[in-house]
Amino acid sequence: MAFISVETLGRKVRATELDTQQRKAALLRAQIARLRLRLQPAVLFRALDAALDAVRGAPERAEHTITRMGDLLRGLLSARNRELSPLDDEMDLLAAFLDVVGATEIHGVPTDDLRFLTARIPATITAPIAASMERVRAVDVALRDEKIVITFTSDADRVDGDAIDAIGDRLRACYGLRATLSVARSEAGGTLVQLTTPLDIHAPGGVEASDSALALAG
């Protein structure tokens, strides 16, 4: 019968646990990447349709729309390999999309708050929310109780349920129950979609990912 020391056995156990954690993290990153790929086409199709409409029917707006379309594409390309983006970069990308489709501006961005400059949010997650809604008339950003809260308001009663489900899946894969995406009727009519993510976020899919998120990958 072969014997090994407790120290050697402990090292093997720790190596096995680390390998398992790394495999789960890799699976989680792949899951997040698939969800992102599902969402981006809707953003591009909505933006391209709006740009074509501007070229055909609103020549006075066409040049500005095409310029902002370029900003949107550059923003998507810049974020393609990032799991998290600085919140201000994500707001710039969302603003470009909203400008292209002729929707509202973003309100309440707390640019004088140091937390806004250091906060991180899942990359390219806000434009798909706006793309899932019709006639977005307001987007409000706030930092509340160590959380980022972004509220989208639409005049329409419908949203793209498949897109909202995919965005919710991505949030759960990243943060478990620490982030939420809710859909409700607005008191003034229309639809409210509210995204809430924590300020103290770690890189999803990394070794530091939360236990609840890794459990989903297992």
Residue 50 lies in a domain: yes
How far from 93 is each of 59, 182, 190, CA to CA, in Å?
A: 24, 22, 24
- For residue 118, give both structure tokens: 């250091």
- Is the pLDDT reported for residue 194 higher than 70? yes
Residue 175 lies in a domain: yes
Strands 84-86 and 120-122: antiparallel
Residue 42 lies in a domain: yes
Residue 1 lies in a domain: no
Max CA separation in the chain (angstroms): 86
Domain containing residue 153: CATH number = 3.30.565.10
Residue 194 lies in a domain: yes
pLDDT tens digit sequence for 199-218: 864 444 433 343 433 333 34
Number of H helices, E strands in the chain: 7, 7
User: What is the C-alpha to C-alpha distance for residues 204 and 5, in angstroms, rounded to an integer?
Assistant: 36
Residue 101 lies in a domain: yes
pLDDT for 215: 38
Selection from 170, 158, 155 nearest residue 123 by Cα: 170
User: What is the C-alpha to C-alpha distance for residues 18 and 26, in angstroms, rounded to an integer?
Assistant: 12
Sorted by sequence, the CB contacts under 8 Å of residue 179 that are 6+ apart come out as 171, 172, 195, 196, 197, 198
pLDDT tens digit sequence for 54-85: 778 777 778 888 889 899 988 888 887 788 88
pLDDT tens digit sequence for 146-175: 899 999 999 888 898 888 988 888 888 878
How many domains in the chain? 1
* Domain of residue 125, residue span: 6-217
Sorted by sequence, the CB contacts under 8 Å of residue 78 that are 6+ apart come out as 89
Selection from 199, 165, 170 nearest residue 182 by Cα: 165
* pTM (two decimals): 0.74
User: Which of 49 and 37 is assigned the larger pLDDT?
Assistant: 49
Contact 120, 103 (CB under 8 A): no
User: What is the C-alpha to C-alpha distance for residues 21 and 27, in angstroms, rounded to an integer?
Assistant: 10
